[in-house]
Amino acid sequence: MGNFIPAFKNKSWLPGILISSALFTFAWGYLVYTGNVSSIWPLFGISNQLLAACGLIVCTTMLIRLNRGKYALCTAIPGVVMAIITFWASYLQIFTIYLPHGQYLLAALAALAIVLMFIVFVNAFIKWFHLMKMKTEKVDSYGEVVKELVER
């Protein structure tokens, strides 16, 4: 929301905290009210697995950036496999559970999670290829040889 209302970028702005908290509390409360906890439990599973895959993908990006590419496969392979399996399971969940039972909000939220994580993964893969093509190396403030410096 910070892109549309600049005040929301300030993480200590009290109205922003209250509005965001109210929106998320209402959204989850609505999901529980319209069904039961077991209806949203699979959505937590999707979110949890996508978060784990995202962590592995981000860790791979950090390893490549820190010029530790020989270790990158240790996180890249599990991250990509986990993402593929979770995307497939989410697809099945949307089209065999949520949509046939008329749970359109849950289907939309699961699809939104998939789309957003897909965007994160594609951008990470693009960054991997960009970093792997870099021939120059730099020394960071800790004296480590890295491919790219990260600004604080």
Q: For 103-137, what is each residue's pLDDT tens digit?
A: 898 899 999 999 999 999 999 999 899 888 888 77
In a domain, 46, yes or no: yes
Task: Give the CA distances from residue 105 to residues 44, 108, 139, in Å, rounded to whole numbers and listed in that order.
Answer: 14, 5, 49
The average confidence (pLDDT) of the chain is: 87
| Mean pLDDT score, 21-32 | 84
| Mean pLDDT score, 75-90 | 95
Q: Among 138, 117, 139, 120, which residue's Cα sits nearest to residue 128? A: 120
In a domain, 19, yes or no: no
In a domain, 26, yes or no: no
Residue 121 structural domain: 36-146
Number of domains in the chain: 1
In a domain, 108, yes or no: yes
Q: Which amino acid is at 113?
A: A
In a domain, 151, yes or no: no
Task: Give the CA distances from residue 141 to residues 11, 12, 36, 62, 146, in Å, rounded to whole numbers and listed in that order.
Answer: 28, 30, 52, 16, 10
> 108 or 144, which is more confident?
108
> 3 or 20, which is more confident?
20
* Angstrom distance (rounded) from CA 2 to CA 21: 15
In a domain, 152, yes or no: no
In a domain, 2, yes or no: no
Q: What is the pLDDT of residue 152?
A: 62
In a domain, 22, yes or no: no
